Structure 1
Amino acid sequence: MKKIPPPAQLKKDIHQAFKHFHKVQEPPDNLLSNLVLVQETQKKESAKPKRYCVNVVLEKGLTQLENHQAEGAQILRKRFLDNKSISEVDKELGLSSLDRVKHKQSSAFSELTQIIWDLEFAARNALITAQKSKLEAKSYTELFGIDKLHKELRNLLMAEASPWVVTLAGIGGIGKTSLANFTVRHVIERLHYHDVVWLKISEVGRGKRPYPTPQTFDKLIGQLCQKMLPALSSQTSQEERLFHLQQLLKSQRFLIIIDDLELQEDTAYLISELVALSNPSRFLLTSRTKPAPHAGSQSISLPELTEVYSLALIRHYAEEIGFAEAVQANDKELLPMYKLVGGNPFCLKQLVNLARHRPLKSLLDSLGKRPLDSGDGMYQHILKETWLGLSDDAKTVLAVMTLATEAGMDADQIAKLSVLPDARLWPAINELIGRSLLEIRSSTLWERSYGIHRLTELFLRSLMNGGSDEDTENDDV
């Protein structure tokens, strides 16, 4: 979306828009129709033409102008809404001078320009806030080592042409969701997209036996229609849903984030289907596997953090949770943590949490007795150590969280399922948040929903299924 025109240009555009107030043809974009004010009016008045929406904004500005410069507003109304000449306005208002009418008209246009500029600025901020609210809540306060990746992803998402499907690929816990969240928030600031949608694909097929790939796509289309086309009947056929969704995605520019793809075949199949739905809309996927090249798509692989960034993350997170010894430790003391798990942010955070409660040497010796695999297996092994140090109430809450939906679960739902009173529930929730095991999915002043990372869920399901440590490591995820 274009930036707000500078005041001098906006004043000219407003003047021209008034001159076209009674025109039948639709106004060109330079006559205010590219303003968020006009586009938001079009959303509310979908059956009305663009001309009507531009005129609504002009009249709204005039109404506010009347509170500050009643005579100037009256001149503009008579001149452009009533189609009267300057001499007619002069006679009706008794200003006794055409030059005086012109001067007051120019002054009125200047003040009206500032009013509409302020209204547009507020409308843009409101739209940015509304779009950001549709994203998953930030699970980070600072990201490390992502500057180059962020710039590359931002450029792809802001491009006017292909690729229409972008995939962030990397092992579990590497930071794909955080990078996507961080970058999309920057893109939203530019209002490049009509709207954004965030989906967690793990809600489509959970457990060790996911739905077949075509059915995964069908479930995804159902979820998108629920969010983007809520007026469609639940009885609408899949073919009709796909048709209406394609029409919408082809007519306006949407950014759809599909988070947490696990299976390589899911990623490959979805890309082939989503490319056909895109342009000008775009899809951003996060996947554990790097997809094969496909026309209209591009992938970015997330590497592990370097040693420097890993140590910076350890200190930053230690400071967040009040672990002063780790904050003050030198590189040589912290380096064994990096050498054990590499630059995996999720694993590093869990190690910092464990080291806060156990001496680092015995902790590393315990974990080092059996070589740690990379990726999910490594995290599952570390999480078992974390699990052993949790309170019983925290374990109860974590077990309940495996039932959470895409949107998460609020405190009332957790309380009902865990059967924990408030006096025990909130200490357990705070404990899990402090251990980075519970994520805030969405948050307002009055409401808050919680969820868990997919890797945490896999570990918990393994426990509930009676799996041993070895079983957890060998899970096919």
Structure 2
Amino acid sequence: MDSDAITADLIVKTLRAWQQGQTPPPALLGLDLLRDAAPSAVEGRDLRLRDLLLQMTTDELERARRAEDVRPPSTIATRRTLLSDIAGDFAHGKAELQAWSALYHRYLAPVEYSAEQLAAEVHMDPRHFRRLVDAGARRLTEQLRRAEMAAHARSRAAHLRRHLPPPDYARLFGVDRQRAIIVSLLRQPYGRPIISIEGLGGIGKTALARAVAHALADGDDFDGMAWISARQSWLAESGTIEPITAPPITPADVTNQLAEQLGLTWLVGLGANEKLARIAEFLANSRYLIVVDNLESVSDIDALLPGLTTLADPARLLLTSRQAMAGYPLVYRHAVMPLSLTDSHALVESELERRGLAPRLEPADMERLFAVVGGMPLALKLVAAQMSRWPLATILSDLRRVRRRAPESLYTFIYRRAWLELDDAARAMLLSLLHISPEGEDLEWLQLVAGLPPDAFDSALEQLLAYSLLDAAGSAAMPRYRLHRLTITFLQTEILAQWDSGQQRE
């Protein structure tokens, strides 16, 4: 309901109708505040509205009484005690207290009084008393408007979030700045239409995209949201890789699910081009946020992205991908940064506490853990889960030597697909970077260490950057390249030999 349609006159008419046993005006029954009542049951919404107005009025009356140190009202409401209560309220001469008391005793008290009766009790001219009742109704109007605007915002946010996956975390660490940057970019009316959140598997791309979408759902920047997930598996806390049933993995699957979430189910049977054209027509008159999670799992990205690009005005697209979208000029790329040591420490202790374990992790132990896995949220959460069964030293040793299922699954989940996509030159170059400085090295250092011919080096560098196996930081003129700590640990294990031999057998 439009909050401006809530007026003091409408509230008084409603209260007076109830008092006279008549049907009140229907306008207030459309309040978003009453959505928890059955929408088709007018009687239920009517009773809910009565309770709401009574609760608001009595709450404000009690607050005003406490502020003036008025004695508590009588516990048993009789004609005599109620008149005594209003006399006590008016004895203090405070306008706010008098207004709420006048409204309550005139229309909402369990015993009915006329304005003349109440005016006589407080030794006041009836016309002046009625003005105080009207003042109370105006105050109640403002209270109801504020509550309705808040309920409308909650209802709108819930509507926007209906396709978003619920958060799978109690708290996010180290993402506030990144979330603010992406939210700001998506709010810009003439900004980049497509944003790609990129990085290694397990670094928090989906969590960041989810946090961005939920933050935007609290505002009025978008009329609707869609979330399409192409994820094919996830790493459980037990260390097993769990498949996801029937994810959309083709461009047709993605557009079909988008049409369904937009309420355009009749488009599903159309051809790809006509379907996208109809979706574009629908989106042309509204502003939508469309999220495609785990884009790298779609079978033909090059076929999908041009079609999605046609939807990106005024809609906005938010992608997450392990594969860099470097070849698409319309795409703004945001590389997810690993957590700092401080945020990593906070995440691990939060996970330990969530599992009922001692949440304290000594700084020295955290530094040892960070040296092995870095600020990789997925790896940190897996380690925290394993700490209920194994000492930290054993877990770190397993990560280096891959002696148990959990470390092997972690590496498989994060790295296997990317490793198998690299050509021999890119694999050799990645292995040659084991001793790269944590602060990064320049291009000349990479060329020297890799020892590849110029063309092979350029191709290898492009592949490592495309699969987020190598990070580029610094300025565009003088970039510095570095490996994630977990990548270094992974490259020192023997699991690569197993993958390579398995690929040869295939």
1:155-197 superposed Cα distances (whole Å, 9 cap, x missing partner): 0121112211111101101011111111211111113211111
Question: Matches of residues 77-88 of structure 1 in structure 2 within 5 Å?
Answer: none
Q: CA deviation at 1:136?
A: 0.7
Distance 2:298 2:363 in 1: 38
**Of 229, 237, 240, which aligns to 1:200?**
229
Question: Matches of residues 214-363 of structure 1 in structure 2 within 5 Å?
Answer: 216-232=250-266, 234-262=268-296, 266-267=300-301, 269-292=303-326, 294-324=328-358, 327-363=359-395
Residue 443 of structure 2: aligned partner: none
Distance 1:268 1:235 in 2: 22
Q: 1:111 to 1:273 in 2, by over 3 A?
A: same
Q: CA deviation at 1:380?
A: 3.0
Residue 172 of structure 1: aligned partner: 201
Q: CA deviation at 1:337?
A: 1.8
Structure 2: where are the runs of 5+ without partners?
Answer: 9-30, 36-45, 55-131, 234-241, 416-494
Q: 1:381 to 1:165 in 2, by over 3 A?
A: closer
**Of 178, 194, 213, which aligns to 1:184?**
213
1:189-225 superposed Cα distances (whole Å, 9 cap, x missing partner): 1132111111102369xx99xx9x9x93222111111
What secondary structure sits across from 1:192 in the alignment?
Answer: coil
Residue 472 of structure 2: aligned partner: none
Q: Is the contact made by 2:250 and 2:298 (CA closer than 8 Å) also made in structure 1? A: no
Q: Is the contact made by 1:167 and 1:299 (CA closer than 8 Å) also made in structure 2? A: yes
Residues matched between the structures, number: 306
Q: Is the contact made by 2:201 and 2:413 (CA closer than 8 Å) also made in structure 1? A: no
Q: CA RMSD in A?
A: 4.9
Q: CA deviation at 1:271?
A: 3.7
Distance 2:261 2:351 in 1: 35
Q: CA deviation at 1:248?
A: 1.1
Q: 1:109 to 1:475 in 2, by over 3 A?
A: farther
Q: Is the contact made by 1:168 and 1:285 (CA closer than 8 Å) also made in structure 2? A: yes
Distance 1:163 1:133 in 2: 25
What secondary structure sits across from 2:179 in the alignment?
Answer: helix
Distance 1:319 1:353 in 2: 11
Highest Rg: 1 or 2? 2
Q: Is the contact made by 1:314 and 1:348 (CA closer than 8 Å) also made in structure 2? A: yes
Q: CA deviation at 1:104?
A: 12
Q: 1:323 to 1:364 in 2, by over 3 A?
A: same
Q: CA deviation at 1:295?
A: 4.1
Aligned amino acid, residue 229 of structure 1: G
Question: Matches of residues 448-467 of structure 1 in structure 2 within 5 Å?
Answer: none
Residue 93 of structure 2: aligned partner: none
Residue 441 of structure 2: aligned partner: none
TM-score by length of 2: 0.50
Q: CA deviation at 1:370?
A: 5.9
Distance 1:473 1:252 in 2: 53
Distance 1:149 1:168 in 2: 10
Q: Is the contact made by 2:256 and 2:268 (CA closer than 8 Å) also made in structure 1? A: no
Distance 2:289 2:158 in 1: 16
Distance 2:414 2:269 in 1: 46
1:130-176 superposed Cα distances (whole Å, 9 cap, x missing partner): 32232111111111111210110110121112211111101101011
Residue 364 of structure 1: aligned partner: 396
Structure 1 residue 126 corresponds to structure 2 residue 155: yes
Residue 470 of structure 1: aligned partner: 498
Q: Is the contact made by 1:176 and 1:286 (CA closer than 8 Å) also made in structure 2? A: yes
Q: 1:231 to 1:344 in 2, by over 3 A?
A: closer
Q: 1:309 to 1:107 in 2, by over 3 A?
A: closer
Distance 2:314 2:303 in 1: 20
1:102-145 superposed Cα distances (whole Å, 9 cap, x missing partner): x9999999977765664443232112123223211111111111
Structure 1: where are the runs of 5+ without partners?
Answer: 16-35, 41-59, 69-102, 384-466
Q: CA deviation at 1:239?
A: 3.2
Distance 1:264 1:359 in 2: 39
Q: CA deviation at 1:286?
A: 0.6
Q: 1:280 to 1:306 in 2, by over 3 A?
A: same
Deviates more, 1:107-116 or 1:362-371: 107-116
Q: 1:363 to 1:125 in 2, by over 3 A?
A: closer
Distance 2:360 2:289 in 1: 42
Q: Is the contact made by 1:201 and 1:260 (CA closer than 8 Å) also made in structure 2? A: yes
Residue 437 of structure 1: aligned partner: none
